[in-house]
Amino acid sequence: MSSQDRLEAERRASEISSTSQTVLAVPEAPAEPVELSEEEQTERERTRELREVRRALMNLPQGLPLELRGMEIVELATAIMDGEKRATPAGAPLVRLKGKWYHADREAPDTYMKEWQEPPARAEAKAAPVLKSARRRWRGWTRCWRRQGHQGDLRGAQAEVRV
Based on the fold, state whether residues 94 and 139 are members of the same structural domain: no
Tell me whether residue 34 is in a domain.
no
**Domain stops at, among 103, 135, 153:** 103
With beta carbons less than 8 A apart as the criterion, state whether 53 and 77 touch: yes
Task: Identify the domain containing residue 157 by its residue range.
Answer: 122-162
User: Does residue 45 surpass a pLDDT of 90?
Assistant: yes
**Residue, of 22 and 76, whose pLDDT is higher:** 76
User: Does residue 32 surpass a pLDDT of 60?
Assistant: yes
What distance in Å separates the CA atoms of residue 48 and residue 77, rounded to the nearest whole number? 12
The pLDDT confidence band at residue 130, using thresholds 50, 70 and 90, is low
Mean pLDDT of all residues belonging to the chain: 77
Taking the whole predicted model, whether its pTM rises above 0.75 is answered as no
With beta carbons less than 8 A apart as the criterion, state whether 95 and 125 touch: no
Tell me whether residue 73 is in a domain.
yes
